[in-house]
Amino acid sequence: MSDLINVILLGIIEGITEFLPISSTGHLLIAQHWLGARSDTFNIVIQAGAILAVTLIYWKRLWMLATGWREPDNRDYLLKLVLAFLITAILGLIVAKLGFTLPDRVTPIAIALIVGGFWIFAAEWWSAKRPDSERITWTVVIAVGLAQIVAAIFPGVSRSAATIFAAMLAGTNNRAAATEFAFLVGIPTMYAASGYEIFKQLRSGGVQEDWSAVAVGFVVATITAFIAVKWLLGYIRTHTFNAFAVYRIVFGGLLLLLVPGN
**Phi-psi region at 130: left, alpha or beta (left = phi > 0; alpha = psi -120 to 50):** beta
Please report which confidence band the pLDDT of residue 42 belongs to, taking 50, 70 and 90 as the band edges.
Answer: confident
Identify whether the C-beta of residue 188 lies closer than 8 Å to the C-beta of residue 155: no
Cα–Cα distance for residue pair 249/111, rounded to 1 Å = 9
* pLDDT of 197 above 90: no
Closest among 171, 65, 184 to 126, alpha carbons compared: 171
Give me the DSSP letters along 5-54: HHHHHHHHHHHHHTTTTT-HHHHHHHHHHHH----HHHHHHHHHHHHHHH
DSSP state at residue 133: -
What pLDDT is stored for residue 154 in this prediction? 83
Please report which confidence band the pLDDT of residue 262 belongs to, taking 50, 70 and 90 as the band edges.
Answer: low
Q: Provide the mean pLDDT of the chain.
A: 88
Listed by start position, the domains of the chain span 2-258
Identify whether the C-beta of residue 179 lies closer than 8 Å to the C-beta of residue 165: no
